[in-house]
Amino acid sequence: MQFLKKGDKTVLIDRNEVYTLEKAVDTLAISVFEDYIALKRDEPNSNNEKVTEERIMLAMDVLNSLSGALSATKNVG
């Protein structure tokens, strides 16, 4: 992985993917929601992984941190 500055944005390059902070927040939010639904249905998620409440809570902590960082960058300037 590699971080690059592009204009006023920092991007993360991973293999063939380019991630912005916005994309990271969006992707994680959808993933957390999918895991929540899988947990409620007592089914594995789309990666065929067992979902636990602890896993969702950890992902929510990460999502909260990323969302806070995104909000802070929007309020600068």
pLDDT in tens, 37-46: 999 999 999 9
Residue 57 has pLDDT above 90, yes or no: yes
Residue 77 has pLDDT above 70, yes or no: no
Residues of the chain with pLDDT > 70: what percent?
Answer: 96
Q: Among 30-34, 61-65, 69-73, which stretch is predicted with the lowest mean pLDDT? A: 69-73
Reported pTM: 0.79
Q: What is the mean pLDDT of the chain?
A: 89
Going from N- to C-terminal start, the domains of the chain cover 21-64
Q: 70, 25 in Cβ contact below 8 A?
A: yes
Burial class (CB in 10 A: 0-12, 13-18, 19+), 59: middle
